[in-house]
Amino acid sequence: MWWINPLLLFVISFFLGIVSVLAGIGGGSIYVPVVAAFFPFNFDLIRGAGLFLTLGSSLSAAPRLLKQGFADIRLSLPFALSGAVFSVIGAKAGLAADERVLKITLGVIMVAVSAFMILNRSHSSSRLPLKKDFIASILHIGGIFKNNGNEEGNEWSIKNSLTGMVLFAFIGIISGMFGIGGGWAGVPVLNLVLGVPLKLAAGTSSIIISANSSSAIWVYISHNAVFPLIALPSFLGVALGSKLGARFMGKASPRLIRTLIIAFLVFSGIRLIAGNL
Across 14-28, 104-118, 192-206, least confident range: 14-28
For residue 40, pLDDT over 90 is answered with no
pLDDT at 19 (0 to 100): 75
Give the integer Cα–Cα distance in Å for 71 and 63: 9
Question: pTM, whole model, 2 decimals?
Answer: 0.79
pLDDT at 148 (0 to 100): 56
Whether the CB-CB separation of 179 and 220 falls below 8 Å is answered with yes
Q: What is the DSSP-derived secondary structure letter of residue 129?
A: P
Beta bridge partners of 144: 155
pLDDT at 250 (0 to 100): 66
State what percent of residues in the chain have pLDDT above 90. Answer: 16
pLDDT at 130 (0 to 100): 47
Provide the pLDDT confidence category of residue 153 given band limits of 50, 70 and 90: low
Provide the pLDDT confidence category of residue 121 given band limits of 50, 70 and 90: low
Whether the CB-CB separation of 212 and 182 falls below 8 Å is answered with yes
DSSP labels, 133-199: -HHHHHHT--EEE--TT-SS-EEE----HHHHHHHHHHHHHHHHHHT--SHHHHHHIIIIIS---HH
Whether the CB-CB separation of 199 and 126 falls below 8 Å is answered with no
Helix axes of 198-222 and 43-68: crossing angle, nearest 10 degrees:
140
The dihedrals phi and psi of 248, each to the nearest 5 degrees, come to -90, 0
- Which residue would you say has higher pLDDT here, 88 or 155? 88
Provide the pLDDT confidence category of residue 68 given band limits of 50, 70 and 90: confident
pLDDT at 93 (0 to 100): 93
156-168: buried (b, 16+ CB within 10 Å) or exposed (e) per residue? Answer: bbbbbbeebeebb
Provide the pLDDT confidence category of residue 92 given band limits of 50, 70 and 90: very high
- The mean per-residue pLDDT over the stretch 231-236 comes to 89
For residue 126, pLDDT over 50 is answered with no
* 131-141: pLDDT as tens digits: 667 788 888 88
Provide the pLDDT confidence category of residue 27 given band limits of 50, 70 and 90: low
* 169-217: pLDDT as tens digits: 999 998 899 888 776 788 888 888 888 888 888 888 888 888 888 889 9
For all residues of the chain together, what is the average pLDDT? 81
State what percent of residues in the chain have pLDDT above 70. Answer: 86
pLDDT at 240 (0 to 100): 85
- Which residue would you say has higher pLDDT here, 89 or 67? 89
For residue 111, pLDDT over 80 is answered with yes
pLDDT at 125 (0 to 100): 47
pLDDT at 88 (0 to 100): 94
pLDDT at 259 (0 to 100): 78
Provide the pLDDT confidence category of residue 249 given band limits of 50, 70 and 90: low
